[in-house]
């Protein structure tokens, strides 16, 4: 910026300062309140406070703990699978158990951990606080949403205990095999899985309506959409995607339940099974794939967009710098969300659909790379010449950028039909999606937990344990997934329960499998450190200051920290600017909270936002 | 809500950027519950679209011919099979109930408790008649041998899609009828005038709830028009 421009800015703020000292200080004016203050539900007993809570903060924590608990099961399942893959000679797992674990691991991680944690957990905790509301719009419905989720999880877990065990159809649950003899859990586990998903969708819809309405209708005075933290933009857009994507899953699940229980043939063609002709005929298996992926691809972004949003805020706060290109970031989030509904069939290149479809979907898929790349550039430019604090949230955010870039680039390979066909169903695909929608969002989740932990408990998590956790998790993930890219290139197929020495499999694969498994065990064990840190710090952690990261967004500006019921005490906050005013020239502190009135920061060269 | 601050807002298309660029609310003067119902209905639209698109795909790709619908859905009237007779009456009843619902909303806002309650009750009865006739149609088809997995007239998918989609719609109507009865009672009791607190939510009642229920009811009718077109006219 030239000196002349600097001078002009200063002159302008001088003028403002003069005006305020003479006449009434109406530079602090915000639009009048449109709505009366929200009426809150006040709990009267232990049950209504901690169990059937209607306070979004408690519901968020309930969601998060349930999701993490379920996710731990997914983690243990991955250990069991990896041990089987590394030592096929041991006979550690039955083939059927292996498939069941693959399926449950996938479904748990994608739906019951990531979706529930980002939207149910962080959504509930952060939306009212960051928008400056007292609670969600419909606290009672919000409570129902959580309990529907609990029932969904219980039904899912119940499938481990039915005859035949959980379904082994793979997380995509493709018919006809999902409900045909020969697939584990084809007549018991799959039904529970489908019912569980239907319950999850119902529960999520109740929560999602809350998130959307709270963001659209319950913002504080002065909080325009373009002053919302990107976290809220990410969660909001992801919720909108979920509201439109989950219906396809619901319909697919319902139809498959009927196929299995009533003997209809929505997805079932005429088949011979165990030497007998089945009664099904005339159904279309491809139809399920379309329904599933119309849900499944937006689902990737339901997980990714909140991560994008959260990481933008973490990077900005912990490098004490304005987010680069805020508006572009918002439009990129919205654009990615919209495009995600037009790419689903890139998961179906080898399904036998019309090749012209593949051409169309490859094009739309590659177009998504544009807004995504904008986001990655903007994150890097946010860091550029920032005052980077290597705190735990920052470390995890940096880990996210690298990992997301890695996973994103392999996505470009797989988005092209001609490259995808030979790579389809190999470990390359496994490595790609674990990098891009497994490790990358999980790193953000860790960063976010370290960042917002003081907001929940009033204490900090242990830094040293956190750093050990970070380095093992970050480097370990690369030890796990980099070799898998190579395995994919040499053609090792995924979903094989036993890879042994054969002319078709490269010998290096066997050794790599052992290496990967050791890395998996170590990385998994490191998560125990995290869990210890998470629970022990609630009691033993260092007491946190009121705004430990010196952040601008509203959640740190509550009268009490941690915020109490109703969040804001007597008076709701008024918002004067966006949450990214860090290191503003002329300001006393290197941060200016969103609710600090302009009259208190006269002389600071704040951009108008 | 202070309506004076809302009166000076720009009207028409200009209101879109101005509302979205403003603070506090994106839909000015719209009650939360009403906005929620709109978004829920949008989501529900996706559910019904998925059903109907699946139906089109399923119908297009069966190996056996689709049954002749004008034959399957005809009703004997004084010895003559009249196609679409029952369904015409059902559709008429349901659309009429939409009309009574709209009037109920109007009388609700006018605080005319009696008329409002009567009209909600009329709507509920209309819905009940619809569900009853649907049950009659289902039992007639079942007597003729139509099953979810097969039927004597052609492709087995006919019964599958028919029972699933009309059943899903019928469930929507039934849920609506239950709520209409509950709301009729609340109106007669004067809950909305007194702002009586909800049994579950503990929030104050307001006549806007009737409009919200009305939105749902109109949506269910609208979906029926599409189901009608796709199943009975195609």
For residue B205, pLDDT beyond 90: no
Peptide bond preceding A176 in cis form (omega within 30 of 0): yes
- Which CA distances in Å does A578 have to A230, B55, B140? 10, 48, 64
Burial classification of residue A369, based on how many CB atoms lie within 10 Å of its CB (0-12 exposed, 13-18 middle, 19 or more buried): middle
For B85-94, write each residue's pLDDT tens digit. 899 999 999 9
Q: DSSP labels for A121-159?
A: IIIHHHHHHHHT-SS-S-HHHHHHHHHHHHHHHHHHHHG
* Residue-range definition of the domain harbouring residue A197: 51-219
Touching A: B residues 44-63, CB under 8 Å: 44, 46-47, 49-51, 54, 57-58, 61-63
Question: Which range has the worst mean pLDDT, A209-213, A356-360, B119-123, B215-219?
Answer: A356-360
**Residue A281 with chain B: CB contacts under 8 Å:** 63-64, 156
| Closest Cα in chain B to A244 | B43
A250/chain B closest Cα distance in angstroms: 8
Enter the pTM of the model. 0.94
| Interchain proximity A35–B24, CB inside 8 Å | yes
B23 shares contact with chain A (CB less than 8 Å): yes
| Closest Cα in chain B to A206 | B40
Which residue bears the tokens 């009403």? B34
- What pLDDT score was predicted for residue A493? 92
Q: Provide the mean pLDDT of chain B.
A: 91
Question: What would the mean pLDDT of A73-92 be, rounded to a whole number?
Answer: 92
Residue B7 lies in a domain: no
- What pLDDT score was predicted for residue A5? 46
3-class secondary structure, B2: coil
Max intra-chain CA distance, chain A = 94
Structure confidence at residue A321 as a pLDDT band (50, 70, 90): very high
| Interchain proximity B57–A284, CB inside 8 Å | yes
Share of chain B above pLDDT 70, in %: 97
The 3-class SS string of A443-479 reads HHHHHHHHHHHHHHHCECCCHHHHHHHHHHHHHHHHH
- Using alpha carbons, select from A289, A283, A287, A295 the residue that is nearest to residue A250: A295
3-class secondary structure, A581: coil
Residue B51 and residue B164 in contact, taking contact as beta carbons nearer than 8 Å? yes
Provide the b/e sequence for B77-115 (b: ≥16 CB within 10 Å): eeeeeebbebbeebbebbbbbbebbebbbbbbeeeebee
Q: A402: which 2 tokens?
A: 């690298």
Distance of alpha carbon A530 from alpha carbon A544, whole angstroms: 19
Q: B178: which 2 tokens?
A: 């239950």
For residue A197, pLDDT beyond 60: yes
Distance of alpha carbon A365 from alpha carbon A282, whole angstroms: 32
For A5-61, write each residue's pLDDT tens digit. 444 444 444 444 444 444 555 788 888 888 888 989 888 899 998 999 999 999 999
For residue B2, pLDDT beyond 80: no
For residue A271, the tally of other CB atoms under 10 A from its CB is 15
- Report which of residues B70 and A326 the model is more confident about: A326
Structure confidence at residue A356 as a pLDDT band (50, 70, 90): confident
| Closest Cα in chain B to A131 | B24
For residue A133, pLDDT beyond 60: yes
* Residue-range definition of the domain harbouring residue B45: 31-72+80-233
| Closest Cα in chain B to A247 | B47
Touching A: B residues 99-138, CB under 8 Å: none
Structure confidence at residue A136 as a pLDDT band (50, 70, 90): very high
DSSP A591: B
Which residue bears the tokens 């029932």? A151
Q: A59: which 2 tokens?
A: 């519901």
Question: Which range has the worst mean pLDDT, A271-275, A517-521, B43-47?
Answer: A271-275
For residue B57, pLDDT beyond 90: yes
- Using alpha carbons, select from A594, A603, A437 the residue that is nearest to residue A30: A594
A252/chain B closest Cα distance in angstroms: 9
Burial classification of residue B135, based on how many CB atoms lie within 10 Å of its CB (0-12 exposed, 13-18 middle, 19 or more buried): exposed
- What pLDDT score was predicted for residue B10? 84
Which CATH number is B50's domain given? Answer: 1.20.120.80
For residue A408, pLDDT beyond 50: yes
| Interchain proximity B23–A36, CB inside 8 Å | no
Give the helix/strand (H/E) hosting A281: none
- Using alpha carbons, select from A347, A341, A422, A442 the residue that is nearest to residue A115: A442
Q: DSSP labels for A402-456?
A: HHHHHHHHHHHHHHSHHHHHHHTTBHHHHHHHHIIIIIHHHHHHHHHHHHHHHHH
Distance of alpha carbon A208 from alpha carbon A144, whole angstroms: 12
Residue A463 and residue A388 in contact, taking contact as beta carbons nearer than 8 Å? no
Number of domains in chain B: 1
A206/chain B closest Cα distance in angstroms: 9
Strand ranges in chain B using DSSP code E only, listed in sequence order: 75-77, 80-82
- What pLDDT score was predicted for residue A16? 45
| Interchain proximity B5–A250, CB inside 8 Å | no
For residue A100, pLDDT beyond 70: yes
Phi, psi (deg, nearest 5) at residue B64? -100, 155
**Residue B54 with chain A: CB contacts under 8 Å:** 251, 255, 266, 287, 291
B28 shares contact with chain A (CB less than 8 Å): yes
Residue B14 lies in a domain: no
Burial classification of residue B3, based on how many CB atoms lie within 10 Å of its CB (0-12 exposed, 13-18 middle, 19 or more buried): exposed
Residue A160 lies in a domain: yes
Touching A: B residues 149-168, CB under 8 Å: 149, 155-157, 159-161, 164, 168
Residue A503 lies in a domain: no
- What pLDDT score was predicted for residue A13? 43
Structure confidence at residue B138 as a pLDDT band (50, 70, 90): very high
- Using alpha carbons, select from A229, A376, A227 the residue that is nearest to residue A309: A229
Instruction: Collect all residues with Cβ–Cβ distance below 8 Å to B202 and sequence separation of at least 6.
Output: A41, A140
For A184-196, write each residue's pLDDT tens digit. 999 899 999 999 9
Q: Which of A254, A282, A290 sits opposite B63 (nearest CB)?
A: A282
- Using alpha carbons, select from A340, A301, A247, A342 the residue that is nearest to residue B43: A247
- What pLDDT score was predicted for residue A53? 93
Among A134, A143, A228, A265, most B C-beta atoms within 10 A, so best to mutate, is A265
Touching B: A residues 291-330, CB under 8 Å: 291, 294
Structure confidence at residue B198 as a pLDDT band (50, 70, 90): confident
| Closest Cα in chain A to B55 | A266
| Closest Cα in chain B to A255 | B164
Residue A73 lies in a domain: yes
Share of chain A above pLDDT 70, in %: 96
Question: What would the mean pLDDT of A557-565 be, rounded to a whole number?
Answer: 92
Structure confidence at residue B200 as a pLDDT band (50, 70, 90): confident
Distance of alpha carbon A257 from alpha carbon A179, whole angstroms: 9
Between helices A440-457 and A285-318, what is the axis angle to 10°?
Answer: 50
Give the helix/strand (H/E) hosting A486: helix A463-489
Question: What would the mean pLDDT of A384-408 be, rounded to a whole number?
Answer: 95
Residue A269 lies in a domain: no
- Report which of residues A230 and B68 the model is more confident about: A230
Question: What would the mean pLDDT of A525-542 be, rounded to a whole number?
Answer: 95
For A146-177, write each residue's pLDDT tens digit. 999 999 999 999 999 999 999 999 999 999 99
Number of domains in chain A: 1
A138 shares contact with chain B (CB less than 8 Å): yes
| Interchain proximity A209–B40, CB inside 8 Å | yes
- What pLDDT score was predicted for residue B4? 56
Structure confidence at residue A516 as a pLDDT band (50, 70, 90): very high
Residue B114 lies in a domain: yes
Residue B2 lies in a domain: no
- What pLDDT score was predicted for residue B218? 97
A481/chain B closest Cα distance in angstroms: 36
Distance of alpha carbon B221 from alpha carbon B231, whole angstroms: 15
């Amino acid at each position: 910026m030239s000196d002349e421009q600097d001078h002009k800015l200063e002159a302008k703020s001088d003028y403002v300062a003069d005006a305020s000292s003479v006449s009434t200080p109406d530079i602090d004016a915000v639009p009048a309140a449109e709505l009366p203050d929200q009426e809150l539900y006040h709990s009267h007993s232990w049950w209504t406070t901690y169990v059937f809570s209607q306070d979004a903060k408690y519901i968020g924590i309930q969601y998060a703990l349930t999701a993490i608990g379920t996710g731990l099961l997914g983690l243990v399942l991955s250990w069991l699978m990896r041990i089987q893959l590394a030592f096929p000679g041991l006979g550690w797992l039955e083939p059927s158990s292996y498939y069941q674990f693959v399926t449950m691991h996938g479904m748990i991680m994608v739906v019951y951990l990531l979706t529930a944690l980002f939207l149910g957990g962080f959504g509930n905790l952060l939306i009212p606080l960051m928008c400056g509301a007292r609670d969600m719009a419909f606290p009672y419905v919000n409570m129902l949403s959580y309990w529907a989720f609990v029932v969904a999880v219980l039904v899912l877990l119940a499938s481990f205990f039915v005859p035949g065990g959980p379904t082994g159809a793979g997380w995509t649950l493709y018919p006809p095999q999902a409900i045909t003899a020969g697939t584990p859990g084809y007549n018991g586990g799959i039904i529970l899985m489908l019912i569980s998903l239907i319950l999850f969708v119902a529960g999520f819809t109740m929560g999602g309506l809350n998130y959307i309405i709270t963001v659209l209708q319950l913002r504080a005075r002065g909080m325009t959409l373009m002053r919302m933290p990107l976290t809220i933009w990410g969660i909001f857009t992801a919720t909108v995607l979920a509201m439109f994507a989950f219906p396809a899953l619901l319909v697919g699940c319902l139809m498959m339940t009927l196929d299995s229980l009533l003997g209809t043939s929505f997805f079932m063609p005429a088949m011979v099974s165990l030497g007998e002709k089945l009664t099904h005929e005339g159904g279309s298996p491809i139809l399920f794939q379309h329904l599933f992926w119309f849900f499944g691809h937006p689902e990737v972004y339901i997980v990714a967009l909140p991560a994008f949003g959260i990481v933008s805020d973490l990077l900005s706060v912990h490098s004490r710098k304005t987010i680069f290109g805020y508006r572009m970031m918002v439009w990129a989030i919205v654009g990615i969300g919209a495009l995600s509904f037009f790419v689903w069939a890139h998961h179906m290149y080898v399904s036998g659909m019309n090749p012209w479809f593949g051409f169309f979907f490859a094009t739309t898929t590659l177009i998504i790379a544009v807004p995504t790349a904008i986001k990655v550039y903007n994150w890097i430019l946010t860091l550029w010449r920032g005052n980077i604090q290597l705190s735990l949230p920052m470390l995890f955010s940096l880990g996210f950028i690298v990992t997301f870039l890695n996973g994103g680039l392999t996505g470009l390979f797989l988005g092209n039909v001609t490259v995808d066909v030979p790579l389809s169903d190999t470990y390359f695909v496994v490595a790609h999606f674990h990098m891009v929608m497994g490790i990358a969002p999980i790193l953000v989740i860790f960063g976010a937990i370290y960042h917002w932990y003081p907001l929940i408990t009033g204490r900090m998590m242990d830094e040293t344990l956190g750093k050990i956790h970070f380095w093992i998790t970050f480097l370990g993930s690369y030890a796990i997934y980099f070799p898998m890219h190579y395995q994919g290139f040499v053609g090792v197929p995924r979903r094989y329960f036993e890879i042994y020495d054969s002319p078709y499999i490269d010998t290096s694969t066997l050794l790599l499998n052992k290496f990967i498994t050791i890395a998996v065990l170590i990385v998994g064990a490191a998560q125990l450190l995290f869990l210890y840190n998470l629970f022990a710090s609630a009691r033993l952690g260092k007491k946190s200051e009121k705004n430990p990261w010196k952040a601008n967004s509203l959640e740190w500006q509550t009268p009490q920290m941690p915020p109490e019921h109703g969040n804001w005490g007597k008076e709701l906050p008024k918002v004067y600017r966006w949450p990214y005013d860090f290191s503003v020239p002329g300001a006393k502190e290197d941060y200016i909270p969103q609710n600090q009135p302009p009259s208190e920061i006269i002389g600071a060269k704040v951009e108008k936002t | 809500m202070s309506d004076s601050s809302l009166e000076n807002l720009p009207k028409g298309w200009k209101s879109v950027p101005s509302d979205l660029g403003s603070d506090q609310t994106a839909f000015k003067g719209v009650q939360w519950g009403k906005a929620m119902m709109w978004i829920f209905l949008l989501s529900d639209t996706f559910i019904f679209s998925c059903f109907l698109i699946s139906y089109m795909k399923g119908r297009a790709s069966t190996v056996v011919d689709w049954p002749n619908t004008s034959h399957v859905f005809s009703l004997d009237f004084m010895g003559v099979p009249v196609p679409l007779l029952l369904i015409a009456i059902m559709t008429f009843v349901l659309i009429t109930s939409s009309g009574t619902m709209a009037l109920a909303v109007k009388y609700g806002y006018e605080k005319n408790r009696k008329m409002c309650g009567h009209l909600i009750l009329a709507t509920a009865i209309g819905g009940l008649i619809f569900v009853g006739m649907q049950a009659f149609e289902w039992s007639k088809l079942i007597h003729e041998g139509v099953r979810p997995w097969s039927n004597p007239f052609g492709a087995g998918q006919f019964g599958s899609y028919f029972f699933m989609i009309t059943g899903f719609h019928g469930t929507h109507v039934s849920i609506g009828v239950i709520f209409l009865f509950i709301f009729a009672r609340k109106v007669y009791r004067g809950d909305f005038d007194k702002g009586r607190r909800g049994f579950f939510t503990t929030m104050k009642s307001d006549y806007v709830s009737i409009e919200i229920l009305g939105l749902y009811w109109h949506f269910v009718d609208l979906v029926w028009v599409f189901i009608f077109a796709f199943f009975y006219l195609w």
